[in-house]
Amino acid sequence: MQLNPEEMRIGDNILCLHTLSEADDLPGKAATDTRYEKLSTDRSDCRLSFAAPVGVLLPCNHIYNQFIFIDDHTENLKRFEKQARNMHSLSRYSRGNQINKEWIEQYLNEAHSLGLTSVRCHCNVMAWSDDRDELQRIKNDVGSQLALMECKPRHNTVDTPTLFWAGIPGNEADFPSEESFHTFIEQALCFFTEETNYKSSFSPFGIKMVDRLTGKPLHVDISDLPMKRGIITNRNKFVLGPSGSGKSFFMNHMVRQYYEQGTHVLLVDTGNSYQGLCELINRKTQGADGVYFTYTEENPIAFNPFYTDDYLFDVEKKDSIKTLL
């Protein structure tokens, strides 16, 4: 780890830090969620958390840190009352003091009238790269994503080591208080991200996938675990995509892994998409599994309704032959 006045390095990686540490950097209004236009239509909304632009929508290696410090609420309000009186006393010397006094009183009025709890909040986006050109692009991307939230991007170069240390679990007590701003719990929670990266399921049954951004292997259960949690009521699957998008490739991948976990699989194949998989399993099991029935002009699909293993025809067999004839 290397600390310089200009930058902080960990191994070959150079850190880049953007902070939201002042109320002036925040948007005029915040919400718990926003409409994601790319996946929304005129009839349906795709809702993501307000801070999603610096969460899963930021396509680079990064950590989004969120801090909420719940101090003594009563002491905070007393201190603001004192500041408001001081600003009022100094208002004759500067109109800015009068404006600050009005802002403080508005904060106090909301706290008392709505029963809100005064807290301190801080958020930062910590990104890194071992390539300076890529790091410059990452800086621009982080700034653009913060601008989508209507926040003022502030690239922090002075407190990077301190904020890095405070972001390690257990080191929150060393957080520099001057890097936080006062707000209420409700507004602070709007800057939390609700979406996460892909995670492996705890279920023993599933299929092996990878994180599309990092290539990290994952174990995903899209059948049993959602049923147990009540998310779905059946295990039906519908795969939709244009030609060449990988529908059959994914289904071959899923069917093979289901088979390897002891699942009985019956396929109705109209395009011979699964013939190769069946032949592979057939050779592997020496003909026990992977049986593939297909139709050719030379060998059409046929069956003998009069065949029996013991050459005996019971009543049910006779009735079925009568129905067939």
Prediction pTM value: 0.71
**How many domains are there within the chain?**
2
The SS3 assignment for 222 reads: coil
d(CA 244, CA 246): 6
Same domain flag for 50 and 129: yes
Q: Say if residue 126 is in the same domain as residue 46.
A: yes
Residues 279 and 133 in one domain: no
DSSP string, 252-316: HHHHHHHHHTT-------SSSTTHHHHHHHHHHTTTSS-------SSS-----TT--SSS---HH
Query: What pLDDT tens digit does each residue of the chain (325 aa) get?
Result: 888 767 899 999 999 999 999 999 999 889 999 999 998 999 989 999 999 999 989 989 999 999 999 989 889 889 888 888 888 788 778 888 888 888 888 889 888 888 899 999 999 999 999 999 999 999 999 999 999 999 999 999 888 999 999 999 999 889 999 999 999 999 999 999 988 888 899 999 999 999 877 788 999 999 999 999 999 999 999 999 999 999 999 999 999 999 999 999 999 998 889 999 999 999 999 999 999 988 888 888 787 888 887 878 888 888 888 888 7
Do residue 38 and residue 176 come from a single domain? yes
Residue 212 located in a structural domain: no
Domain limits for position 266: 237-299
The string of DSSP letters for 67-93 reads EEE---HHHHHHHHHHHHHHHHHTTTT
What does residue 39 show for φ and ψ, rounded to 5 degrees?
A: -115, 15
Residues 182, 241 within the same domain:
no
130 and 9 part of one domain? yes
Q: Are residues 12 and 131 in the same domain?
A: yes
Indicate whether 125 and 242 sit together in one domain.
no
Q: Note whether residue 46 is domain-resident.
A: yes
Residue type, 77: L
